[in-house]
Amino acid sequence: MAIFAKAPAHDVQGLRWPRMAIFAKAVAALSPYFFQEIQAFVCRYYKIASLSRTPMNTTLKTLPFLFVFSMVSLYGSMTCTRLSANTQNTTENKIVVTRPGDKGATEQTVALANVPPQPTATKAPVETATAGVAAKGKKSVVAFLKKLREYQLSWAQFPIKRPEFLKAIYLTNATAVNTKSLRHFIAQSRKHGINSMVIDAQGKAISAEQMSLLKTNGIYPIARVVVFDLGLKQKYPDQAHLEKVLKSVERAAKSGYREIQLDYIRYADRRDLQLLPLKFKYDQIGSILARARKLTDSLGVELGADVFGRITINRNDHIGQKLELFGDHVHNLYPMVYPSHYYGDPEKIANPYGTVKEGVENSKERIPKTRIIPYIQGFGMKIKQSGLDLPQYVLKQFFAVDDAQGDGYVVWNARNDYSATWKALQEYEKRAPERKKNIKVAKAPAPKGRQDAAQSGDQIRDVVSPKN
């Protein structure tokens, strides 16, 4: 700006242009260059490769710069257009004479009292020039808005930090791809501290706008991918089917999901399949897990898997699931410790706290390097045996996960009816401070030279909630 302030007025096709008009015209012409330079500056400042992979808050910081330059460009085009409208009054009684000097050309304006204005049969050259500048200014603003739209869509691909403690609900594909219902569950999640959603990825693909909506509201998206519907019903898996499953995994990762959660990755729970050797089943399931892990690693997302709740108490199981096997391949394990599903064990059905706590503790003991995030029961099946209503039944499971030092939970309700879950979360928030205050944390003596960082199983773990 200082350079233009010191510069003299210049002549363009016989017209004297003010300094600000020259500056505005220059900015209008150079706005695409400025646009690229600002992006490059922001990339260097935040030490990132490109804005297409920038966290959303970083991208937002660039928008004021882009907006300012676009508005200046628009001002430039408008200024130049106004100058063309005022040209006639300027040229009627003045003529510009340029005389060569020793150190360059100088200007002198001579007033002409009796010289009539010269008629022009064609459009003045300056009008053509300013019209071009105006068009450039408009194009600059349009380009800015278009770029803003591209950034909005690219937010769907931005990495979102995984919550330290996962608090998730499950959504069907139909619920998630409906923007109105998705907004409803996002609003409820923010209100009650839910920071993640497990969404059926097979079926209609979630849109970039919907994925962006999740991430901008602090919801960590996890894609649920069914491997074998109700389990593998034959000795060998069909390779064409597996390729289709892996394509679903790839599509989910590229649409913005930060984790792929494999479900029904097991043999069907049928008598005729029990004759197959356990080692053979483990090898087949392990091979699928290895392929999925290789793919997710290449896509930069985490891998998780669901297992039956009974796997947490069984060392071997004929469905081909084993904690240690899954722990070798996945980042996160999701044991489905629904109390109602422990058939033939009324004590586990009637004791949601003890059932969930046992499943989480056993899992963490056997595969300590894998995150354990249990699915908990958010539906009313067989809860009468506990003497509790559904909100209290869910609340007991929340406390069990806390006390077992789990890494989070996912509430399952196939109909996505979480009215009882919201009530349980409200009660949880009321009672958590009192539990922290009253529970005494028993610490084991630390070995010499080491600090014992272990926490008691009774201690309530802090939960990372999305910022409001």
For the segment 339-398, what is each residue's pLDDT rounded down to a tens digit?
999 998 999 999 999 999 999 999 999 999 999 999 999 999 999 999 999 999 999 999
Q: Which helix (H) or strand (E) holds 407?
A: none
Residue 416 above 90 pLDDT?
A: yes
Taking the C-alpha atoms of residue 296 and residue 409, their distance in angstroms, rounded to an integer, is: 22
pLDDT tens digits for 126-160?
A: 455 555 655 666 666 667 666 655 655 555 667 78
pLDDT tens digits for 12-56?
A: 443 444 455 555 555 555 555 455 555 555 545 444 444 443 444
456 token code pair: 């008691």
Q: Is 234 helix (H, G, I), strand (E, B) or coil?
A: coil
Helix, strand, coil tally for the chain in percent (to 5): 50, 15, 35
Taking the C-alpha atoms of residue 400 and residue 364, their distance in angstroms, rounded to an integer, is: 14
DSSP label of 231? S
Amino acid at 157: Q
- Which of 337 and 439 is assigned the larger pLDDT? 337
pLDDT tens digits for 102-117?
A: 444 444 444 434 445 5
Amino acid at 455: Q
Per-residue pLDDT, 100: 41
Per-residue pLDDT, 30: 56
Q: Contact at 8 Å (CB) between 409 and 167? A: yes
DSSP string, 304-358: EEEEEGGGGT-S--TTS--HHHHHTT-SEEEEE--GGGSTT-HHHHH-HHHHHHH
In SS3 terms, 427-448 reads as HHHHHHHHHHHHCCCCCCCCCC
Q: Which helix (H) or strand (E) holds 1?
A: none
Q: Is 262 helix (H, G, I), strand (E, B) or coil?
A: strand
Per-residue pLDDT, 175: 98
DSSP string, 161-218: PPPSSEEEEEE-HHHHT-HHHHHHHHHHHHHHT--EEEEE-SSSPPPHHHHHHHHHTT
444 token code pair: 């084991």
- Which of 302 and 454 is assigned the larger pLDDT? 302
Taking the C-alpha atoms of residue 396 and residue 424, their distance in angstroms, rounded to an integer, is: 9
Per-residue pLDDT, 49: 44
Per-residue pLDDT, 258: 96
Per-residue pLDDT, 293: 98
- Which of 291 and 468 is assigned the larger pLDDT? 291
Amino acid at 451: Q
Q: Which residues contact 446 (CB under 8 A, 6 or more apart)?
A: 452
Q: Contact at 8 Å (CB) between 129 and 135? A: no
Q: What Å distances lie between residue 283 and 222, 311, 316, 406, CA to CA? A: 26, 17, 13, 28
128 token code pair: 């053509």
57 token code pair: 């808050």
Mean pLDDT throughout 230-242? 96
pLDDT tens digits for 61-102?
A: 555 555 655 555 555 445 444 444 444 444 444 434 344 444
Handedness of CA 281, 284, 288, 289 (dihedral sign): positive
pLDDT tens digits for 265-317?
A: 999 999 899 999 999 999 999 999 999 999 999 999 999 999 999 999 999 99
Q: What Å distances lie between residue 351 and 62, 288, 383, 396, CA to CA? A: 54, 35, 9, 9
Q: Contact at 8 Å (CB) between 378 and 413? A: yes
Mean pLDDT throughout 167-190? 98
Per-residue pLDDT, 62: 52
Angle at 83 between CA 80 and CA 86, to 5 degrees: 160
Q: Are strands 94-101 and 104-111 parallel, antiparallel or unpaired?
A: antiparallel
DSSP label of 267? B
Residue 459 above 80 pLDDT?
A: no
Q: Contact at 8 Å (CB) between 385 and 349? A: yes
